[in-house]
Structure formats: C-alpha cells, structure tokens
Structure 1
C-alpha cells in the first residue's frame, strides 16, 4: 500500500510536469503498455518512438543509393587530402605538430602553388568581368580590343549571359585556327569543336556517349595504368568496364602496342571493347610519347575498331631535350586517308588556369547522327563556364608580335616553362639520390611518379591497418612531415610495386623543402621498419 501511494504521487507529479508538453503533443496509448510507458508523438514527426528514432527508413540511404557511385574513387582528393585539410585546421587552432604548415604537392594547381599568372590573361578577364575598365588608360589597347571582341560575342554584351551549348562561336573559330596552326595547316572545322568546363567535362561527356550494353556486351574502355583517376571514376559511375593496359616503367613509362593487344584480347572474353584512352604528356607519369608510338596506337585503334580518345591537356609542358609533343590529329592525317578517313578520334585540351575550368574537345569522323546526340547531351548543362571560355580564347589566341602585350606575354610564358623545366630536373635528380626511391625523368606535364622500395615489415604493418602500403607511407609522411602526396595505389600500378605522385609545381625553394623532407622521412621510415 505504501508503494501504491508513492506511485500515485509520482503519477500526479509527472502529469503536472507534462501538462505544457501535452498541450502541444498527441498522447498515443497502447493497450499493451502500462501507464508508465506512454508514447509522446509530434504531429509533424509521425511514427516517432520514445528514443527519438523513427520507424520509417530514409528513401535515400547507402543501401538504396546508386551502387555505381559507391564504387567511385578519386585519390587526388581522397583520404590523404582530407586529412591534410584537418591538420591545417588543427595548426590554426594551435595544435602542436612537428611542422608549421602542410605543403600540398598532391594536385596540379599552378596558382595555388604560387605560379605567376600571365598578365595579359588577367587583364582581359578583368575587362570582361567589369567592362567599365575599358575606359581605364592603365590597360593596353590589345587587351581592350580582345575583351571587346569577346563581350560582343556574348548575349547582351555580358560575361554573365548564357552561350550556345557548344560554346561561343567566335571562340570555337579561334580554337579551330589554333589547331590548324599547330598542326601545320591540317583543316579544323569549328562545328567539330565543343567547348567544355575543363577537359574533365569533355572526357566524361564522351564516355557517356560510348557506354552501353549489359553483361558481356557492356562497353569496355582501355585506360593506361598508372592512370588519372578521372577515368576510373567515370567508368565506375557509368557501369562500364575498365580495361587496364600497363605502361612500361623500365622504359620511362613508354607504351608498347603489344601490351594493348594483350589487354584487348583478354577483355573480349567479358566485355565489348569500344574505346582507347591515351594521356600524352602523361599524368601521373610525366612521359611524352614519341611519334612512332602514336602511329602504332592509331594503327591498333583502326585494326581493333576502337574509338580513340586523346587527352592532350599538357601539350605545352614538354621539358626534356629530345622530346617533342605530337598531336594525335596531326599524326592521324599525315598517315594518309587509309586512317584519317576511318579512325574516330576525340581530342581534348584545357586552359592553364585550372580554376577557371575552360577546355574544348574536337571530334573527328564522328557519325553525324551521333553528333546530334552529342549536341543534345551538352545542352542538358546549358553551356560551359563563360569565364572559362573567355580564358580559353586567350590561350589559343594570345598576343601577336605586332601587339603591345606580346613582349611581356612571351617573357612571362617562357619564364614559367623554364622554371618548370628546372624543377623537373631537380625533382628527378634529388629523388634518385635517396636509397629506396627510383624516379624516371620528368619529360613533360607537371608530375612525377617515383617507385618506392618498402621494407616487408612496413608492408605487413599496412596490411594490419587495412591500407595499401603506399597509402600507409604517404599518411605517415603527412602526419610526421606535413607533406601531402598521393599514393600510387590511387592511380593503379603493377602488383607488388609502390609509388607516389607529386607535382613539381611548388615554388623552387618550397620544392627543395619538400624533397629534403621526403629524404629525411624515407630514411627514418626505412630504419623504423627494417
């Protein structure tokens, strides 16, 4: 009876305490529940239990989402980079580290690394964005004329207007003229040129057109290993089949057509190979393919009836003496009509200011009906970035010798390429003095992909943490030295080999610091796990 009295008193107290709440909520009673197990629900949140969790599953969860998206990996901005961002925040908050800054050598972001912008490019973009500056005497006349021409081609004379889905017509005309000049007069039709939001956008668009089929009829796309992770990510998203062919590290990442034949023969057992992707100059490997190699690739594509995709983003970045960039289109047409009339080719390039996201693709021998579908596909996104298009126009149509900005432009461009060339040599030389690291010559592009020799104990330690050994290495390098690199496993590599990718873009003095920290770390790492 005493317990009953206490219970009644508590019940009355609870009722008083809950009174304000009961005015706003519904009381849901159940015949199977005692009075002390009352459900309180909010009319706006049905099916809520006493612990606040709902019975209803979310429409979108990891089990119901697109499974192809879960298969995507993009190492360039993967776990290492995410951790680097966290460490930067910790440093700002005063957390003590063995270093004072994180140096990000993981991505080819020239301006973030301190590369001096080209004055002419910056002037014209400023004029286009704020046309009132056209009245300012500080700007040279050729910059004003170029800005005026671009603005006249924009709707309403404004960089803020949409353009045609394939890009502003006069800019596509300028791209065609640039290609013709580069390729010694081989014609280029502006109607075959589509401007894009960076080269990546163009590549993904083309892969969308190529992908079809199910089971053994699924589209297979040949990509180099090591590769730029955009390709593997796009193929995963599109549920296409990745056909890996390996570059020869022992021959400075060269491409042997016999390896292409091996890969395509094996792939025909489980998919329908339809496309071959080539990155030249190479990313992440920095090689420049010679003309004979390009001819062999074109013959192979013709024999195997493959759509050829040439990623020529770094065509201006060739450093090593004896190396020369050869455009796939030029070689194709110089091989004669036997090839130039039948091989289907897409070539892509982009601007040197990555953040502006300007690029283009040129399609050759594309079926006219498919070309209509390509136009429809790019129309879905309305148009590429207009600012990116404007910058692209300046890249393909820079100041001419009789214009006032020419001397400064040539001086700045030459200086940038010279500095990159010196840094490419320095990177190779320093890394090759470190026992356990082997670095091929950086012939072009903006990256190196050195091979690591790792102690067995380190490999086993990585496995215990369920990490790839080079991921384990790069994560420790970040935590101990503040250097952010990307493990080679994120780009693909032969089994049993380990690498990292780093850019040569940091300012010379900072690059020296990066290389010396790698030297110090690698020695300590090797001793720790010996």
Structure 2
C-alpha cells in the first residue's frame, strides 16, 4: 500500500509565510545554538569557550538586571496577599507598596490572572496617558491607547488594518527592522523602500521619500503609510527636530499615515540630540487630531528596563475617524487582551518614581548606570570597528545597535558567491565559526545594493566587551589576510 501524500507541504502552505523572513532569529542564530550545544556536550570542541550573542536586542538574556522598583510592584500585584503580611515594609519600598495598591485598585477584582478590557485596563491607560502628557507637554487621551503584548502585535494590527492587497504599499526605511518587512509580507502588501543616507549618519532625506513615493505610485501602488524608526534600528541615529517637522509635513501633504516606532526613546547616548515624539512635534506645529493620522509605538522591552519577556507595550492612535477606531478595537478584541503584567509594566515605564519618591534615588542610580554603561559599550565597539581595515561605522547616537559597513575584498566576494552566500552572510558565518561571536548580516535588514553590513548589538555586559573586540580584531586581520586582493 503506497504511503499517503502529505496534507501539508512547503508548497501548499500560505505563500505569504514563505516570503516572510526575520533575520535576527534566522540561519546564523540557529547555527550559533547548534555550536553552543556542541560546546556543552564536548568542551574544547571549538576555538572558543562560549557563544557571545550580539544579534538581538534582548538585554536581560545578556546579564542586564531588571529595575528593582518595577519588579517590586509586579511581585506585589501578582501576589497581593503579601501586602497584608507583617514585615512587608522590611522587604519592599514604601512607594512600591503604595503603587501596587493603587494599581490593584484599578484592576477589576484585583486579579492579574483575569482578562481585561481589550484595549487594556482603563486605570493603567490613564497612567500611561498622564506619562505621555508629562513627556510631551501636550494632552493625551487614554481612549487613544491600546495596550499590546509588546510593540510587535501593534505593528501587525496596523498592517492588517492598512493593507488590502499587494497594491497597497508601506514606505519603510532601508535598513529596517525586519518586523516591518515580515509583517508587510504576511499581510500581503508591498514594501516601498526609502534609503537612509549612510554618508550623513543615516540621514532621512525628504527628497528620497518623495522619489520612492512617486515611483511606487507610477507602478500603481497605493502607498498608505510611512514607517519611521526613531531612534533608529539597526542604524542607531536620532532624528533632529527640524527633520521630524519635515516628515510630519510630508505625511500631511501626501495623505500618509505616520507609523512612529519610538521604542528606543530612552536610549540616547549623545549630548547634542534628544528624543522628541512625533506626536509632540505634530502638536507643536499646530496639527490636531483631525489633521494627521499618527500611530506611536512604545515597548517595555527596550530603554533602560529591557523587559522583553514581559511582553508589554502600547500604541497611541490619533487622527482616525470614530468608524476606523471601532475597527481597530474589533481587531484588538479578537486577541481578547494583552497580558496584565505587561500592561502594569507599561504604566510603570511611563510613570517611574519621581524626585521626592522614596525609591527615586535608587531607581535613578539603576537607570543611569545602565544607560551610561550602554553609552560606553557603544563607543568602545564603534571605535573597534572603525579601527579595522576596510570597515567604517557611523556613531551610535541611540538605540542598541551598530551597523558597520564592510568594504570587502573582491576575492572575499567571489568566495561568497562560490558557496551561494551573500558576502556579509559569508563574513558573519566565518566570524561565528572562528570566534563564537553572533552578529546579523546587513542583508537581513536591507541595504543599498552593492554594500555589505553587519548589525551588532551593544548589549553584552561591559566586562565582555574587551574579549569581543579582541576576538573580532584577530579574526578580521586573518580574514583580510586570506582574501586581500
């Protein structure tokens, strides 16, 4: 009896899934995990003793400690009977206890294990709106806030809303965080690329936006939205206020939804730049809700808090009609609600301890210690890349990444072609096999054709950075010696 044909094959699944790629957890990381298992099973089996993950923005997996105040509040909310225990004040700070009581009072039934309103708990949205108002100097409405399991589901929700067919396009920066290319592919739309200018520190030029928009429209693509990542991922630049004003005007004049990825807003490492939300910029220009459809994404995964596994985030949705808002709420309702711990963390991130609070001093020491260390790590790695033959690296002004350019010898490019690999993938694979350092090829993020890059995080703990630099330099010198033209 002949075996039955398989019901599901790679050829029979949704082709949109096949088109979707996500480089930061792709081929290189799978190979790194295989090497790590080999090291555990047979120590000494490779020329390094550990895998150094520089591929993904996952701070706590690399040793960053959580913020004490946030975790105290979470613990008390998840186990509220602690609040009635004798000696509680010896274990938890007074303001963490007060904040936990305040949060529990707005959670129906004081139950963090229950479903919530599909937009998120109203009292927590009130707190987030207050935090946005404090940050921007302009009012925020809690009804505009949708709490989500990190920023990624919010991005998917907006792509689902905006994309109707392959004839709908989304303007995305190149290089870009592959969540955007992946979500556009999954929802059946077209990615319309606009190239950041590496020669000007990854500048975002309005002329380039206009050129790519007009080109897409000439091909029959209806461009629905513009994605801006600020601070930049993977490129690390922070937009100047004047540039942001130009972008807002561009979206207004061209009838585009502005999708503002602002998850790295706390990660600024230079004195001459600061974060300004696009909503603040738009309001300062006199644009109100009715003038510009704007969606701002925030997450608890990044910043100084790095609570990736708690899956907390939100989007603030302004400038849409009541009818469209109803449809966004319907889409949120399909997922029932985001997890409550993430909702609580989002409210804490937007309303941390303030001057005068009992926990403020210790909180600020933890926060500034993390951000200062990240700035030092960024500078050390940036200088190291720029010291290598044939490598140039722009300054990391913000976020958690460097995106150095590899000016590879022609012999290396030909060697990559011989094994059917992109040159940056070839370099990254060789780097991993020789050193245990895991970085991501720039081809996973998009880049100007004919250029080659790698994305490297600044997240390994500070005491690991010298070893990473030493291994990198030794490898690169040998690689260039092998392939120099």
Alignment TM-score, normalising by the size of structure 1: 0.87
State the partner residue of 1:201. Answer: 153
- Is 1:223 the counterpart of 2:172? The answer is yes
In structure 2, distance between residues paired with 1:63 and 1:504: 39
Matches within 5 A, 1:352-363: 352=305, 353-363=307-317
Does the aligned pair in 2 maintain the 1:118–1:412 contact within 8 Å? yes
In structure 2, distance between residues paired with 1:487 and 1:70: 20
State the partner residue of 1:212. Answer: 164
- Describe the SS at the equivalent of 1:194: strand
Equivalent of 2:351 in 397, 405, 430: 397
State the partner residue of 1:274. Answer: 224
Equivalent of 2:118 in 144, 151, 165: 165
**Cα offset for 1:529?**
1.3
- Is 1:443 the counterpart of 2:392? The answer is no
State the partner residue of 1:117. Answer: 66
State the partner residue of 2:429. Answer: 475
State the partner residue of 1:302. Answer: 252
- Is 1:500 the counterpart of 2:454? The answer is yes
In structure 2, distance between residues paired with 1:196 and 1:340: 22
In structure 2, distance between residues paired with 1:285 and 1:446: 9
Does the aligned pair in 1 maintain the 2:78–2:112 contact within 8 Å? yes
How many residue pairs align between the two structures?
473
Does the aligned pair in 2 maintain the 1:264–1:273 contact within 8 Å? yes
Equivalent of 2:107 in 147, 154, 158: 154
- Is 1:525 the counterpart of 2:451? The answer is no
Please provide the CA RMSD for this pair: 1.2
In structure 2, distance between residues paired with 1:382 and 1:464: 50
**Cα offset for 1:464?**
1.5
State the partner residue of 2:207. Answer: 258
Does the aligned pair in 2 maintain the 1:332–1:340 contact within 8 Å? no
* Residue segments in structure 2 that go unaligned for 5+ positions in a row: none
What are the superposed Cα offsets for residues 309-331 of structure 1, whole Å, 9 maximum, x if unpaired?
A: 00000011111121111110011
After TM superposition, where is structure 1 displaced by more than 6 Å over at least 4 residues in a row? Answer: none
Does the aligned pair in 2 maintain the 1:154–1:161 contact within 8 Å? no
- The structure with the largest alpha-carbon Rg is 1
State the partner residue of 2:240. Answer: 290
Alignment TM-score, normalising by the size of structure 2: 0.95
**Cα offset for 1:116?**
2.2
* Residue segments in structure 1 that go unaligned for 5+ positions in a row: 1-47
What are the superposed Cα offsets for residues 172-217 of structure 1, whole Å, 9 maximum, x if unpaired?
A: 0011111111111x11110011001001111110111001145xxx
- Describe the SS at the equivalent of 2:453: strand
- Is 1:61 the counterpart of 2:13? The answer is no
Does the aligned pair in 2 maintain the 1:359–1:392 contact within 8 Å? yes
Does the aligned pair in 2 maintain the 1:223–1:245 contact within 8 Å? yes
- Is 1:87 the counterpart of 2:35? The answer is yes
**Cα offset for 1:403?**
2.1
Equivalent of 2:24 in 55, 66, 76: 76
In structure 1, distance between residues paired with 2:104 and 2:359: 20
What are the superposed Cα offsets for residues 24-76 of structure 1, whole Å, 9 maximum, x if unpaired?
A: xxxxxxxxxxxxxxxxxxxxxxxx43xxxx1x323322121100000011000
State the partner residue of 2:141. Answer: 189
Matches within 5 A, 1:123-134: 123-134=72-83
- Is 1:320 the counterpart of 2:320? The answer is no
- Is 1:490 the counterpart of 2:455? The answer is no
